[in-house]
Amino acid sequence: MGVEHQVQPPTPTAQPARLGPSAIVAPALAPATDEAFAWSTRADEAVVRPPSSLSGRAAVLALQRSHGNAFVQRVLSATLLQRRGKGEKITGVSEVEEDPDAYADALADLKDFKRESHAAVNHIPSSGGRFDVKYDANANKLLITVKCAFTFKDGQKVTLVGNPNAPTVQYSPDKWGAADQTAFKTKFFAQIRQTWSGQHTFWCQLDWWEALSATTDISVVEHSAKDTQGAHFNVTVQKSGSEESTASVKQRMATATLREGDVDPGKGALTGASVASHEAGHMFGLGDEYAEAATKPGETAWHSNLVKAEFGHEVVRGKGGAESIMALTGVKVLQEHGVTFLEALKKVTEMTEWSHTPKPPKPKPAAASPSGGAGPGTPGPDPDGPPPRPPVKFI
């Protein structure tokens, strides 16, 4: 509430596909143009064709994830990648059975992925806000940290004295004591963690990585007021009776203004949740969902583009549910309020294959052993059986 943010957030763009430690690097390719990359061959050769929307490196990665690194390595080592001009048809296309090594490759890649570091300092979501982010793949935790430098502003006490029908107003200093400051910060940190932490879990969508998840772990910590450049937000906290009376977060200036009572649930405009918990949503990149006098018809919240990309609908101010914590009187953190965390997760892991809904596990190949490879005693080709499949050509 009382938020200043004049720049319309850009439409989120897809993150590049992840290249894991064992990823296959395709031969050097010219930049993608309107020419399509195709995979064609003679009628006596089997062909694997990637999705028509992919080209170049993306096509190689698509096969890597669907058929495994070993399969793609064999294809690349034996064949060449060539361009196809517009209008040429693809002939002799047929399906190729899934490589049993794909399961082992996926598990090996997952093991490598869990060894890697996935973190970003001073991450700025496309909708605004800022925080540090770290994904712990072994604990399935997405750690979000906001660093705040605090400045406490003294106020004035107002006392009415004399004749009740014509009282005299007297002002006296209302100063912050050390204990008052500590109490405010303790409540501030606890309120935000209680309200936001653990409210969102994201799931990996890669085959055989379906158990990989990321549950948010939210912390707001104090940063030295002497190093305001290192803080995500410089927070001014006003004592009761000071001149400022509106809580706000100003994104471009990385500042926030709070009042002494904003950490107490039920005070101010909010009922049941603290004003500070609502303002924390702005620090995470979420906008107000309520309409004000200056709100234009159809105006959307800052995070609307991210919500539309993930959930398929916009967030129009004044049209959402009153229960939302980003509304005027709501207290509920909605599932769609995790979109800036999801965006951050995709960035630090260099993978777009994350969603707020789990993916059904893909069964492992029948020929795979528990460790992912071919099982012991797996029979080889039958010399008296049918001839082997023709070679796969990648052109």
The predicted-structure confidence for 209-263, as pLDDT tens digits, reads as follows: 999 999 999 999 999 877 767 899 999 999 875 555 577 888 777 899 998 888 8
- pTM for the structure as a whole: 0.68
Are 191 and 339 within one domain? yes
Q: What is the pLDDT of residue 116?
A: 96
What is the tens place of the pLDDT at every residue in 352-372? 999 999 999 999 887 665 554
Are 33 and 64 within one domain? yes
- Judge whether 2 lies within some domain: no
Closest CA to 212 of 351, 86, 364: 351
pLDDT at 393 over 90: no
Are 350 and 371 within one domain? no
Residue 368 has φ and ψ, to the nearest 5°, of -85, 140
Are 96 and 151 within one domain? no
Are 35 and 154 within one domain? no
Are 321 and 194 within one domain? yes
- Judge whether 146 lies within some domain: yes
Mind giving me the DSSP string for 77-128?
HH----B--TTPPP-S----PPPTHHHHHHHHHHHHHHHS--EEEEE--TTS
Are 94 and 126 within one domain? no
- Judge whether 18 lies within some domain: no
Are 281 and 343 within one domain? yes
Provide the angle, in degrees to the nearest 10, between the axes of the packed helices 339-349 and 304-311.
80
Are 197 and 245 within one domain? yes
Share of the chain above pLDDT 90, in %: 48
The count of structural domains within the chain is: 2
Closest CA to 107 of 183, 47, 22: 22
Element (H, E) at 354: strand 354-355
- Judge whether 6 lies within some domain: no
% helix / strand / coil in the chain, to the nearest 5?
Answer: 25, 20, 55
Q: Between 313 and 8, where is the model more confident?
A: 313
In the structure, what pLDDT confidence band is assigned to residue 380 with cuts at 50, 70 and 90? very low
Range of the domain at 153: 119-355
Rounded distance between C-alpha atoms, residue 223 and residue 5, angstroms: 24
Are 345 and 373 within one domain? no
Are 275 and 370 within one domain? no
Most confident of 42-46, 73-77, 117-121, 240-244: 117-121
- Judge whether 107 lies within some domain: no
Mind giving me the DSSP string for 122-160?
EE--TTS--EEEEEETTTTEEEEEEEEEEEEE-EEEEEE
Q: Between 376 and 234, where is the model more confident?
A: 234
- Judge whether 372 lies within some domain: yes
Q: Give the largest Cα separation in the chain, rounded.
A: 114
Residue labelled with tokens 């797996």: 378
Element (H, E) at 248: strand 248-250
CB within 8 Å of 26: residues ≥ 6 apart: 56, 57, 60, 76, 81
Residue 346 has φ and ψ, to the nearest 5°, of -65, -35
Are 350 and 369 within one domain? no
- Judge whether 235 lies within some domain: yes
Element (H, E) at 214: strand 213-222
198-202, 203-207, 288-292, 333-337: which range is least confident on average? 288-292
Q: What is the pLDDT of residue 226?
A: 73
- Judge whether 114 lies within some domain: no
